[in-house]
Chains A and B, each alone.
Chain A
Amino acid sequence: MSVVKQRILPHHPCNAELEVDKISNLPAQIIDKILSHLSLRDAVRTSVLSSKWRYKWVTLPNLVFDNQSLLISSQDQTFIKNKIVNIVDHVLLLHSGPIHKFKLSHRDLQGVCDIDRWILFLSRGSVKEFILEIWKGHRYKLHSSIYLCQKLIHLELFNCLLKPPLSFSGFRSLKSLDLQHITMEQDAFEHLVSSCYLLERLTLMNFEGFSDLKIHAPNLLFFDIGGVFEDINFMDTFNLAIVSIGLYVNPGFDRNLTLGSAGNLVKFFAHLPRIQRLEVQSFFLKYLADGKVPGRLSTPCNELSFLSIRINFNHFDECLAALCLLRSSPNLQELELLARTEDQFDLRTVANVMEENYQNCMFNQLRHVKIAGISGVKRELNFINFLLANSPILERMTVKPASVDGAWEMLKELLRFRRASVQAEIVYLDP
C-alpha cells in the first residue's frame, strides 16, 4: 500500500522581507532560551510546527512537570497516574542532551514507584536541580539512586522519606537544600547536613524522625526552619547571615532544672557572629529563654540589622530574653515585636527588670519598629516606652493592637511617651 504523503511546499512570496522565517534559524541556545520560558507542554508542541522545529525542544535543559504542563482533566486516580507516567516516560526518552533541572510536582500524583525509574535515569546524567513534590498520599521513599547524583546543586523535596544508604557521603556540590514534610532519621539528617560541605541554604519545615538539630555547615548563609524539635545547635556556622526559626510546639520548660548551665540563648548565638536577619517565630523565644539569660551577650551581634520576635509579653523569661537580645544588637535597624498570648500567665511583675537594666542601651540605628497583637498590658507599654526613649533616629513605629478592648486606653498611654527622635511617627493601626 502506498502511503499518501502530502508535503505542502513552502510558499515563497515575492516580498521576501516580510514573510521570511527568521526564527527557525536562530542559534540553538536562543531557541532553548525561548522554549524554556514556555511551559513544557507548549515547548513540546512546537514539534508540530515545521520540519525544522521537530526536534528543537528535545534539548531543553529544564523539565518541569506540574499541573500547568501536564493537563489532565479527569478525577480518576489510575487514569491520571497512567497519563503522567506515560508523558514523563515519553519526554525522557525523546529528550536528548543534559538535563539540568527536573521538577515533578503534580497535585494529583501520588508517590508511585515509577518515580524510582525516573530518578535512576536522572542519576545517570548530571542533573543539577531536582524538585519533587508529592501532594497526595503517603511519604514517598526516595529511590537510592538519588544519592548518586553528585552534580546536584539544589534539592527540594516535599512529602518524602529519606533514607540514605550507609555508604552515602554527601552531595559534594549541593548548595541549596529544601526539605518540607519529610521523614528522616536523626543520624541520617546530621550526616547529610555536615557532609554537604558547600551547603549555603537550608530550609526545613515540618520534619519527622529527628528532634535534635545539629547544624554543622561552615558555608551556610540562609537557614529557615519551622517544626517541632527539642534542641538546636549550630556548629561553625560563621557565615550564617539569615536565620528564621519557628518552633511550633510549646517547649514547656521548667526553669529550675537548667540553672547554672549556659542558657540556650547564649549557646544559640555563640556560633552566629555574622547574623544579619533573625526571625524568632512561634515558641522559639521560649526555647531561647530557657536557662540562664544574661543581661546582654558577651559578643554583641554587630551585624544584626533586622530582628523579628514572636513574644509572649506575659512570660517573664521571654521578656528577659528579648531584652538581652535587644541590648546585644547595637546596629539594629528594623524591629518587629509580635505578641502572642497563651493561657498561662506569669504573675511576676516586670517593673524591676525594666528599671534596672535600661541604661546604656541606645539603638542608634533603629529606624522602623512594628508592634502587633498587643493588648495594652503594662509590660508591653514599658517595652514601647523603652524603645521610644532610646531610639534617636527612629522614623516610624507602627502599633497594632490585638483587639478593640483596651485599645483606647493604650492609645492614651502611648501618647504620653517621650520620644528620643524628633522624626518619629507613631502609626496606630486598627485591630
Chain B
Amino acid sequence: MSGGPMAIVKPEMKSYIWLQTADGSIQQVEQEVAMYCPVICREVAQNSTGSSKNNAVVLPERVNAAVLGLILDFCRFHQVTGRSNKERKIFDEKYIRLDTQKLCELASAADSLQLKPVVDLTSRALARVIEGKTPEEIRETFHLPDDLTEEEKLEPLRNMTDDPRIRLLNRLYAKKRKELNERKKLKNVEVEEQQRVDERSVDDLLSFINGGDGDSKGVRETKNKKKTRGRKEQARNNSPNNEAGNCNKESSCLASGCLNGDISDVSSPSRNSKLQNSASATFPSKLDFDDFDMDDELDPVMQEKIDREVEDFARRLNCDWPEILSLAPERRLGPISMNGNGSLKRCTAGVDRG
C-alpha cells in the first residue's frame, strides 16, 4: 500500500458544494463534480453560494432530487480528464438507456442547468423513440392526449375548418370508425389493424406529408404494407393524386440512417461517387418496393366497400383541389359546385371551380 497521508482521502480534505433542489432537499456534492455544470459553476463563482448548508445553491425549478442524481452521475464521470473518447461514448450510450419519462425530465433539468452534452444526448434519444412510430404509438408512449378534432388533424392541408368538404370527410371518417369498431367487437380482430385501415382511408385522400403522404403508420410490419396495396390500386385507377397519400408506407425501414448535413465533415477527396450513384438507379426500386406487396389481410368484402367509398370521395375531393395539386387532364367527372348552404351538388357542365 503506498504510504503517505494523501493516500487516504479524508472527507474534510475534499471540498463540497451544497445544492438545494426544487423539492427542498439539500445535499452536498464534491466540488469538481458540481462545477462541471455551468449554472452551478456560475452561481458559486458570482454569488459565492454553496459553501454551507444554509447557503446552498438553489437549483432551478425543473431539477428535482432524483434527476439531480442522474445529472451528477454524468458530471462525475465526465469531469475526470483522463478518459478516452471511446470510454466516454460507451458511458453515454449506457447512460441514455432510460425510460421516456425519465429522458424528458433529464432533458428538462439539463437544459435548465445548461449542461449541453446531456441535452444533446437526451434529445437524440427522444428522437429515436419517436422515429418510425405511428401517432397512436407516440401518443401512448408519451401519454399525449388525442385532443385534436379530425379537422384539425387535416388542418395543414386546409386552413378553413368549416369547409363543407371537410365536414363530409369528418362524417365519413366517424362513420367508418364506428363501423370498424363494431366489426372489431364482432370479429375480434386486432385493434391495430382496423385503426390502420381506418386512418388509411383518410390518408389516401390527402396528398400531404402530414396525415397524408405520411401514412401515419411507420410501416414496419409487413401487414401494413400489404394493406395499402389494394387501395393504391383502386385509387390509382382514378387519379394519381389520390395515391399521393400512399406514397410511402414503406420507407422508414428502407431509408437508411440520418440525414447528415454536417458541414464540418472533412469530405473525402474523390466525390465521383455522387455521379455514379445517380446513374445506378437503386433508389426508384427501393421506393417502389412497397407497391408490390400482395396479400390483403382484410376481409375482401369490407375492403372493397371501403375502397369504393374512398374512391368516390376522392373523386369528389380531387376535383376542386388548387392548381398545384391537380393534374387537370386527369379529371373524369365534372366538378362539384357548392350552393349557399353548403350541400354538394354535382354539375356536369364545364370545368368550373366555383
Q: Which residues of the other chain, B, contact A6 by a CB distance below 8 angstroms?
A: 149-150, 174
Q: Is the CB of B247 within 8 A of A73?
A: yes
In angstroms, Cα B278 to Cα A69, docked, is 18
Question: Which residue on B lies nearest to A106, using beta carbons?
Answer: B283
Q: Is the CB of B108 within 8 A of A27?
A: yes
Q: Distance (Å) between the CB of B136 and the closest chain A CB?
A: 10
Beyond contacts A41-B209, A136-B278: 13 other A-B pairs, Cβ-Cβ < 8 A, are A1-B343, A10-B145, A22-B104, A23-B104, A24-B144, A50-B139, A67-B287, A69-B259, A71-B250, A73-B246, A73-B291, A205-B274, A226-B270
Q: Is the CB of A50 within 8 A of B156?
A: no
Residue A9 lies at the interface, judged by CB distance under 8 Å to chain B:
yes
Q: Which 7 A-B pairs have the closest CB atoms?
A: A71-B248, A10-B145, A37-B127, A22-B104, A33-B123, A244-B269, A68-B255
Interface size classification for chain B = 35 or more
Instruction: Give the contact stretch, choosing among B12-20, B30-38, B69-77, B210-218.
Output: B210-218
A220-246 contact mask (Cβ, 8 Å, vs B): 1 or 0: 001010100000000000000010101
Residue B9 lies at the interface, judged by CB distance under 8 Å to chain A:
no
Q: Which residues of the other chain, B, contact A72 by a CB distance below 8 angstroms?
A: 213, 247-248, 287
Q: Distance (Å) between the CB of A65 and the closest chain B CB?
A: 10
In angstroms, Cα B211 to Cα A244, docked, is 47
In angstroms, Cα B100 to Cα A18, docked, is 11
**Residue of A36, A224, A242 with most partner-chain B CB within 10 A:** A224
Question: Which residue on A lies nearest to B142, using beta carbons?
Answer: A23
Question: Which residue on B lies nearest to A35, using beta carbons?
Answer: B127
- Number of A-B residue pairs with CB-CB distance less than 8 Å in the complex they form: 241
In angstroms, Cα B162 to Cα A10, docked, is 24
Of B147, B208, B248, B272, the residue contacting A10 (CB under 8 A) is: B147
Instruction: Give the contact stretch, choosing among A74-82, A343-351, A409-417.
Output: A74-82
Q: Which residues of the other chain, B, contact A82 by a CB distance below 8 angstroms?
A: 324-325, 327
Q: Is the CB of A203 within 8 A of B288?
A: no
Residue B7 lies at the interface, judged by CB distance under 8 Å to chain A:
no
Q: Is the CB of A64 within 8 A of B240?
A: no
Residue A249 lies at the interface, judged by CB distance under 8 Å to chain B:
no
Q: Is the CB of B135 within 8 A of A49?
A: yes
Q: Is the CB of A34 within 8 A of B170?
A: no
Q: Is the CB of B144 within 8 A of A180?
A: no
Chain B residues in the interface with A (C-beta under 8 A):
100-101, 104-105, 107-108, 111, 119-120, 122-124, 126-128, 130-132, 135, 138-139, 142-153, 155-156, 161-162, 164, 167, 170-171, 174, 207-211, 213-214, 216, 240, 243-244, 246-248, 250-252, 255, 258-259, 261, 263, 266-267, 269-272, 274-275, 278, 283-284, 287-291, 324-325, 327, 341-343
Q: Distance (Å) between the CB of B201 and the closest chain A CB?
A: 15
Of A1, A3, A68, A94, the residue contacting B251 (CB under 8 A) is: A68
Q: Which residues of the other chain, B, contact A154 by a CB distance below 8 angstroms?
A: 263
Q: Is the CB of B138 within 8 A of A180?
A: no
In angstroms, Cα B107 to Cα A27, docked, is 9
Of A22, A44, A74, A205, the residue contacting B271 (CB under 8 A) is: A205
Of A51, A83, A153, the residue contacting B247 (CB under 8 A) is: A83
Q: Is the CB of A5 within 8 A of B142?
A: no
Residue A354 lies at the interface, judged by CB distance under 8 Å to chain B:
no
Of A22, A30, A42, A64, the residue contacting B123 (CB under 8 A) is: A30
Q: Which residues of the other chain, B, contact A38 by a CB distance below 8 angstroms?
A: 127, 130-131
Residue A26 lies at the interface, judged by CB distance under 8 Å to chain B:
yes
Of A36, A49, A181, the residue contacting B139 (CB under 8 A) is: A49
Residue A123 lies at the interface, judged by CB distance under 8 Å to chain B:
no
In angstroms, Cα B289 to Cα A49, docked, is 28
Q: Is the CB of A49 within 8 A of B266?
A: no
Question: Which residue on A lies nearest to B251, using beta carbons?
Answer: A71
Instruction: Give the contact stretch, choosing among A85-93, A143-151, A321-329.
Output: A85-93
Check A45/B287 contact, CB under 8 A, given A7-B149, A74-B240, A205-B271: no
Q: Is the CB of B274 within 8 A of A158?
A: yes
Of B122, B267, B269, the residue contacting A281 (CB under 8 A) is: B269
Q: Is the CB of A53 within 8 A of B144?
A: yes
Residue A62 lies at the interface, judged by CB distance under 8 Å to chain B:
yes
Question: Which residue on A lies nearest to B248, using beta carbons?
Answer: A71
Check A23/B126 contact, CB under 8 A, given A41-B209, A78-B327, A90-B209: yes
**Residue of A67, A71, A72, A136 with most partner-chain B CB within 10 A:** A71
Q: Is the CB of A39 within 8 A of B269?
A: no
Question: Which residue on B lies nearest to A11, using beta carbons?
Answer: B145
Q: Which residues of the other chain, A, contact B325 by a CB distance below 8 angstroms?
A: 82, 86
Write 10 A-B pairs (CB below 8 A) sorted by A numbering: A5-B151, A8-B145, A10-B145, A23-B126, A27-B111, A50-B147, A86-B208, A91-B209, A224-B269, A226-B271
Q: Is the CB of A79 within 8 A of B240?
A: yes
Of B107, B127, B144, B214, the residue contacting A49 (CB under 8 A) is: B144
Question: Which residue on B lies nearest to A281, using beta carbons?
Answer: B269
Q: Is the CB of B271 within 8 A of A34?
A: no
Q: Which residues of the other chain, B, contact A79 by a CB distance below 8 angstroms?
A: 240, 244, 327
